[in-house]
């Protein structure tokens, strides 16, 4: 199976002890930690237990990459990671042993993760573990897109414009009027409308690129985008 330069290639690069491997593992952990951690916590484990298990899962995942699972999940990294995590948890239950702290991997800051945990478990009251995982995955994709878009605007010296325009990606209630933004930034209302049109187009393009990095077959991008949209609507 050919792996292109996507998040799948990160899975390959993260195997080993080289600096490049450690960097790749950090990227993988940062992107997929929250969905996986939320799923494990839903199983009734404590914070510390869930943290240990997810760290250990990443370590074992990269030691034993299962290409048969990749094929069965049709090259969708979202599905591959969840199926692999379920197998790992089942194996740990069968072994019934304590999981040691995973000290050799990259440092993944958990403060921000744990601050958002309350909101996750409010959702857990109405969502299944799989649904909660999908929602955290979808939000992680959107967060990656906004981070990339913010970097582009800041590099172009347009950070204030980004800070204002991103508000239009959320619900109507409470967001500023385009005319108000124009006054703050010294732009006409029409200029703000055009800027937001370009902003939204670039956002959609980056979202497509981000999702494309999580599948192997190009034809699966549209299906993943539809799945992401359905998860967010739900």
Residue 205's pLDDT band (cuts 50, 70, 90): very high
Is pLDDT at 228 greater than 70 in this prediction? yes
How does 80-99 read in b/e, with b if 16+ C-beta sit within 10 Å? bbbbbbeebbeebeeeeeee
Predicted TM-score (pTM) of the model is: 0.68
User: Average pLDDT over the chain, rounded to whole?
Assistant: 75
For residues 116 and 135, the model is more confident at: 135
pLDDT digits over 51-72, tens only?
888 888 887 776 665 544 555 5
Yes or no: say if 134 and 228 are a contact pair by the CB < 8 Å rule. Answer: no
Residue 88's pLDDT band (cuts 50, 70, 90): confident
- Where are the chain's structural domains? 1-126, 130-234
Span 91-110, average pLDDT: 54
Is pLDDT at 161 greater than 80 in this prediction? yes
Taking alpha carbons only, the member of 51, 52, 63, 61 closest to residue 88 is 61
């Amino acid at each position: 199976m050919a792996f292109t330069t996507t998040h799948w290639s990160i899975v390959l690069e993260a195997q080993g002890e080289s600096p490049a491997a450690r960097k790749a593992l950090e990227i993988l952990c940062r992107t997929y930690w929250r969905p996986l951690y939320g799923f494990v916590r839903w199983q009734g484990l404590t914070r510390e237990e869930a943290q240990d298990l997810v760290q250990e899962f990443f370590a074992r995942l990269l030691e034993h990459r299962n290409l048969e699972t990749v094929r069965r999940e049709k090259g969708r990294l979202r599905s591959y990671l969840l199926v692999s995590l379920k197998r790992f948890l089942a194996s740990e239950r069968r072994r019934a042993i304590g999981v040691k702290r995973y000290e050799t991997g990259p440092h993944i800051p958990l403060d921000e993760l744990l601050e958002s945990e309350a909101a996750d478990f409010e959702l857990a009251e109405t969502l299944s573990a799989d649904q909660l995982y999908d929602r955290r995955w979808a939000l992680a994709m959107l967060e990656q897109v906004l981070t990339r878009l913010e970097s582009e605007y800041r590099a172009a010296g347009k950070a204030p414009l980004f800070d204002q325009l991103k508000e239009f990606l959320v619900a109507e209630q409470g967001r500023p009027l385009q005319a108000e933004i124009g006054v703050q930034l010294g732009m006409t209302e029409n200029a703000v409308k055009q800027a937001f049109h370009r902003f939204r187009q670039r956002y959609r393009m980056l979202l497509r690129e981000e999702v494309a990095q999580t599948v192997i077959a190009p034809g699966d991008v549209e299906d993943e985008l539809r799945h992401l949209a359905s998860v967010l609507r739900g």
